[in-house]
Structure 1
């Protein structure tokens, strides 16, 4: 079990939620100013996704089977959360005042296609869904990589990611060019590289003989630099990409080839992290508007937002995972006859690991 990676997934989603609450507070208050101005959560999210796809990909899987398994995991709750956001935007436009509720925007939101909202940002109706547009792209690239021989599947996925960035430059100016040409895609490629490196025996021997925490610490220092120093776009992405990959490498190496964390609470945190990611924008918007309206004090409203949105998002994410996501995923996999075999990478690692070290 990837307990350290699950902890990282949980922390990344909480970091994203905290960053969004901060942005909401700043847009509704002239007196409250929270010092942090960036979040590593998005960058970790993409790097983790790259590693996880390398870890779970079975080279003997079919492209369609692989794509369908990933799709049935993320689509049901995303479509549900998007529908709730759409209903709120239609009934109370001031809750999602930048959401574009036109038909093309609605279709694009459900299909993970990039488009501009009313504020000029590339965001769907449920604004956090922009990240999932990249995730669906990664799923597609990994599905396509299954057409080539096993030894080059992951390099092929990485190469296709780079080609997407380069190819987007030839598109007409607009949402597609801006979205798919964003160098943030390199963070996913870095996560893939970390996953690929951990398949190599020399790297595995290095991990078994070397404490992972200093590597993770270097990544954290990189986050601190990126969050507090003004850098050009490519420079900022480069620092985040390297920092995220180092943290992911350290956590994955600890889980796979050293003494993993033994904590079921962390495992559950990883399972509900996707729910936290999708649910917190709905609660933040509804609670935030209400709290700022009734308290009359911006600092009280801010404190209450953090005290209510984060724990309630966690509770609702747990309920969603147990009573909606898991049953839905199980039913869809059974109905579509999708494979239940564990990922080949997991089977191979389990066979090769042998005794773990501290």
Structure 2
């Protein structure tokens, strides 16, 4: 798929929403008396970045497999390339989180590093944090990657089974899972996760990909309407105090899909500045590494002998730029090389397999 700048911009926006979400929570923790409602609102609204990410993922995955013949080879290549893209950095940051928790526990708020729990985290299996009771892996952000890998696994299974109408199969599977979850309200963390309405957000992105591949486009006025409607849904509807809701995939999911539609489905594309699209390129690194940067910046700023307001201002001036700088370095020096090496290994393995089959 030809890279669309508008998608990279949405990735950048999604990652930065999460950055400010956690940054606001950090300020609220260190300065609880300083405008608490402001930091709570930013923290709450920043969670919407995840919903944008899921819609983007659904769109991109459908584009990746479009035109691919179903079967074992396509399934193997698809899941292999997804693993190469997601696993190395996630495993690195997860193990780094474990190392910090063991060697410098003062730098971490949550401590749970039993071998089974770490292993489940590395294998993208939804699990409960033994220390907090929260449904999250060792690296708390990884809960979203559990959903991503589940989505990839379903696509790979559909391809492996030889189903030609992949979107139709996805529609049937995901809607059935959500209906099951809504009807039976399962308690098991794995079943509960994989039947939550949030998985519909992948479906919205996949539907928009189908429409774009068919040639469907909208005019500038319609783009403005979609973006405005999506932002309205995001700003007017809140998550409850617990930080989640069962209909998130319908409420915030449709809002994210509307914003995506307004950005990506237009007849013409905006030429965005390269600096913005670079943050989109590095959004995966930004998402996974910003908490490490945040903790360091927080320790530095909140030990300065200045007032709470100035501490908050300095934190906001230092943390986001530092997180973005590290993410670009991580993208260029770690993500790109590991992706290149991984794809070379996948190509070599699939070529050997073809040679064996044709011999």
Q: Deviations over 1:120-144 (max 9, x none)?
A: 2111121111111101111111112
1:197 aligns with 2:199: no
Structure 2 SS opposite 1:122: coil
Give the whole-Å Cα distance in 2 for the aligned partners of 1:177 and 1:46. 19
Q: Is the 8 A contact 2:239 2:245 kept in 1?
A: no
- C-alpha separation in 2, matches of 1:208 and 1:243: 19
2:145 matched to which residue of 1? 132
Tell whether 2:10 aligns with 1:11: no
Q: 2: distance between equivalents of 1:323 and 1:90?
A: 27
> In the aligned structure 1, how far is the partner of 2:263 from the partner of 2:348?
30
Moved more, 157-166 or 9-18: 157-166
- Which runs of structure 2 are paired with 1:235-250 in the superposition (5 Å)? 235-250=247-262
**1:73 aligned to 2:85?**
yes
Counterpart for residue 353 of structure 2: none
**Residues 144/171 of structure 1: CA separation in 2 closer, same or farther (3 Å cut):** farther
Select which of 184, 194, 198 maps to 2:198. Answer: 184
> Counterpart in 2 of 1:146?
159
1:159 and 1:306 map into 2 onto residues whose CA distance is 45
Q: Which of 37, 51, 58 in structure 1 is aligned with 2:59? A: 51
Contact residue 6 and residue 269 of structure 2 kept, 8 A: no
Number of corresponding residues: 335
1:329 aligns with 339
**Structure 2: unaligned runs, 5 residues or longer:** 351-359
Correspondence for 2:236? 225
- Per mean C-alpha deviation after superposition, the further-off stretch among 29-38 and 8-17 is 29-38
Between 55-64 and 286-295, report the one with greater CA deviation. 286-295
Equivalent position to 1:213, from 217, 221, 224: 224
Q: Secondary structure at the match of 2:233?
A: helix
The offset of 1:262, in angstroms, is 4.8
TM-score normalised by the chain length of structure 1: 0.84
Distance in 1 (CA, whole Å) between partners of 2:146 and 2:268 is: 34
Q: From the superposition, tell whether residues 228 and 154 of structure 1 become closer, same or farther in structure 2 (CA, over 3 Å).
A: closer
1:65–1:338 CA contact under 8 A, matched in 2:
no
Show the counterpart of 1:279.
289
Residue deviations 1:329-351 (CA, integer Å, cap 9, x gap): 101111221799xxxxxxxxxxx
After TM superposition, the structure 1 stretch with the greater mean CA deviation from structure 2, 232-241 or 1-10, is 232-241
> What's the counterpart of residue 177 of structure 2?
164
Superposition deviation, residue 27 in structure 1: 2.6
Of stretches 90-99 and 305-314 in structure 1, the one that deviates more from structure 2 is 90-99
* Closer/same/farther in 2, CA of residues 159 and 338 from structure 1, 3 Å limit: farther
Match of 2:102 in 1: 90
Aligned to 1:355: none
CA drift of 1:250 comes to 1.7
Of 112-121 and 294-303, more deviation after overlay is shown by 294-303
Q: CA shift at 1:288, angstroms? A: 1.8
Give the aligned partner of residue 41 of structure 1. 49
Question: Structure 1 residue 223: deviation in Å?
Answer: 0.9
C-alpha change, 1:235 and 1:103, in structure 2 (3 Å) is closer
Q: 1:119 to 1:298 in 2, by over 3 A?
A: farther
